């Protein structure tokens, strides 16, 4: 028995094979929508959780400062690898098998963190976590949209854009609090996240499949980027927008704890977590609250926010002023959330249902290249240039990318 779901984002129906009620009692569509969004966010809570712990590990195990950026960016590189190989896999075999497999691998990474005894274990766990997150991200992005009721399609697209930023910030904040108030923060945090991944796997297992299998499964595993022809111009125009936004996110997630310790002389797990939290939290709120604006205007607001926020951040770093670092995080966070949300809202309706996972994989490929690679380069430059000059140079590159993104969006037709 088959049923047809017709999303409002495009005219093409999605064929789904309904499962016999006696064989499996599935969640209601609204519950599956809410559950999928929550598990997607939890995946990124886990991704943000290690950030305040990295400086703790450095003090405990005594490795060089540049290894911190390797430990941070190994997650992004694992994620990129998974996006290239499995980014569109769920378009062929279904969302549910990919998500269940990814969450199971994520559970393994959480257990590795629990029992990590040196930085090598942490880097390995971060890499595996990145692989799990990369395999799940495009599938979750598509699944959340497809589970949404007809009148919630726009909200679903917004949820897919704010879940990564909101999850990263919340994970850093909660871990920072655990570092401040517990002597066993690592075990506490990652045991809790392991339990959450088990629950999340159950949510996915009892949610209906939203796409029917498509041919070409083996071919989809060959590393490639899949952008539908109808979305290519908008995708290219969004590249500098994503670069600037995710480079700023990488600055906060990868370097802020080191900036607080080495440039501002502050040693507090809670302060680390709270400062890292400011920017992605503002991004999540902006992505949700600016949904009434047109996608193009949202992107333009975001580009301005990234540019101004980065300038304020650099001023705060140069003058060792924590309030300016927070203010820049708020402004820049609004920019990150607005630009990413607006870009997703612009290109998502241009893809057919069987093309969505591949398109989301391409978006996150650009995003996480911008998130991880500059952080590794910055880490390698800290020794020869010093932390201050490295961070200021990083900021100049972000400002240049934001300006290019604004120009590219300004030249796009307003009606698209």
pLDDT digits (tens, 9 = 90+) for 7-47: 444 434 344 544 443 456 788 888 999 999 999 999 999 99
**Mean of the pLDDT values across residues 294-301?**
89
369: DSSP letter: H
Cα 330 from Cα 334, distance rounded (Å): 6
**What's residue 305's pLDDT?**
95
Alpha carbon distances (Å) from 163 to 98, 141, 204, 230, 341: 19, 9, 17, 26, 10
What three-state secondary structure class fits 37?
helix
Cα 276 → chain centroid = 14
**Mean of the pLDDT values across residues 133-148?**
89
Q: What is 26-215+226-410's CATH number?
A: 1.20.1250.20
Asked whether 91 and 355 are in contact (CB, 8 A), the reply is yes
**Mean of the pLDDT values across residues 391-400?**
95
What three-state secondary structure class fits 36?
helix
Place 325 in a pLDDT band, splitting at 50, 70 and 90.
very high
Taking residue 289's Cβ as centre, other Cβ atoms within 10 Å add up to 15
- Outline where 206-321 has alpha helix (H): 217-220, 232-262, 269-289, 295-319
Chain mean pLDDT for the chain: 86
Cα 280 from Cα 165, distance rounded (Å): 5
Q: Is the predicted pLDDT of residue 262 greater than 50, yes or no? A: yes
What three-state secondary structure class fits 210?
coil
pLDDT digits (tens, 9 = 90+) for 74-117: 888 888 888 788 877 888 888 999 999 999 999 999 999 999 99
Higher pLDDT residue, 225 or 332?
Answer: 332
Instruction: For residue 389, give the H/E element and its range.
Output: helix 387-410
Higher pLDDT residue, 127 or 92?
Answer: 127
Beta-carbon contacts of residue 199 (< 8 Å; ≥ 6 apart): none
**What's residue 301's pLDDT?**
93
Alpha carbon distances (Å) from 65 to 46, 126, 264: 23, 17, 16
**What's residue 324's pLDDT?**
95
Asked whether 340 and 287 are in contact (CB, 8 A), the reply is yes
**What's residue 11's pLDDT?**
39
Least confident of 107-111, 184-188, 380-384: 380-384
Q: Is the predicted pLDDT of residue 360 greater than 80, yes or no? A: no
Cα 316 from Cα 227, distance rounded (Å): 39
pLDDT digits (tens, 9 = 90+) for 363-374: 878 888 898 888
pLDDT digits (tens, 9 = 90+) for 158-183: 888 788 888 988 999 999 999 999 88
Higher pLDDT residue, 411 or 14?
Answer: 411
**What's residue 66's pLDDT?**
78
**What's residue 414's pLDDT?**
57
Place 59 in a pLDDT band, splitting at 50, 70 and 90.
confident
- Percent of the chain at pLDDT exceeding 90: 40
Instruction: For residue 5, give the H/E element and its range.
Output: strand 2-5
Q: Is the predicted pLDDT of residue 204 greater than 80, yes or no? A: yes
Place 5 in a pLDDT band, splitting at 50, 70 and 90.
very low
Q: Is the predicted pLDDT of residue 194 greater than 60, yes or no? A: yes
Asked whether 274 and 176 are in contact (CB, 8 A), the reply is yes
């Amino acid at each position: 028995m088959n049923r047809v779901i017709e999303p409002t984002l495009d005219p093409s129906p999605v064929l789904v094979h309904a499962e016999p009620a006696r064989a499996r009692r599935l969640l209601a569509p609204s519950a599956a929508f809410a559950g999928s969004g929550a598990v997607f966010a939890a995946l990124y809570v886990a991704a943000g959780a290690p950030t305040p712990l990295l400086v703790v590990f450095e003090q405990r195990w005594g490795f060089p400062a540049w290894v911190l950026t390797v430990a941070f960016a190994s997650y992004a590189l694992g994620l990129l690898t998974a996006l290239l190989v499995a980014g569109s896999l769920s378009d062929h075999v279904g969302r549910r098998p990919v998500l269940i497999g990814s969450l199971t691998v994520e559970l393994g990474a959480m257990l590795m963190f629990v029992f990590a005894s040196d930085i090598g274990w942490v880097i390995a766990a971060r890499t595996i976590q990145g692989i799990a997150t990369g395999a799940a991200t495009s599938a979750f992005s598509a699944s959340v949209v497809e589970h949404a009721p007809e009148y919630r399609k726009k909200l679903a697209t917004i949820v897919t854009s704010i879940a990564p930023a909101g999850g990263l910030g919340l994970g850093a904040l909660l871990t920072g609090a655990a570092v401040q108030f517990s002597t066993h923060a690592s075990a506490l945090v990652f045991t809790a996240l392991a339990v959450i991944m088990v629950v999340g796997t159950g949510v996915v297992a009892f949610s209906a499949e939203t796409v029917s299998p498509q041919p070409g499964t083996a071919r989809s595993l060959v590393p490639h980027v899949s952008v539908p022809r109808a979305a290519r111009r908008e995708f290219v125009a969004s590249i500098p927008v994503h670069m600037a936004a995710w480079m700023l996110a990488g600055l906060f997630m990868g370097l802020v704890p080191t900036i607080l310790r080495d440039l501002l002389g502050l040693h507090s797990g809670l302060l680390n977590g709270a400062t890292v939290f400011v920017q992605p939290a503002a991004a999540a709120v902006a992505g949700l609250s600016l949904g009434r604006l047109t996608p193009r205007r949202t992107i333009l607001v975001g580009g301005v926010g990234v540019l101004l926020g980065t300038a304020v951040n650099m001023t705060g770093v140069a003058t060792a002023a924590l309030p300016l670092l927070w203010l820049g995080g708020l402004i820049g966070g609004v920019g990150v959330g607005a630009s990413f949300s607006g870009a997703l809202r612009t290109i998502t309706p241009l893809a057919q249902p069987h093309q969505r996972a591949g398109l989301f994989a391409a978006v996150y490929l650009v995003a996480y290249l911008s998130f991880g690679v500059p952080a590794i380069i910055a880490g390698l430059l800290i020794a020869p240039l010093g932390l201050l000059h490295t961070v200021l140079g990083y900021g100049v590159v972000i400002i240049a990318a934001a300006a290019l993104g604004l120009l590219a969006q300004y030249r796009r037709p307003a009606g698209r």
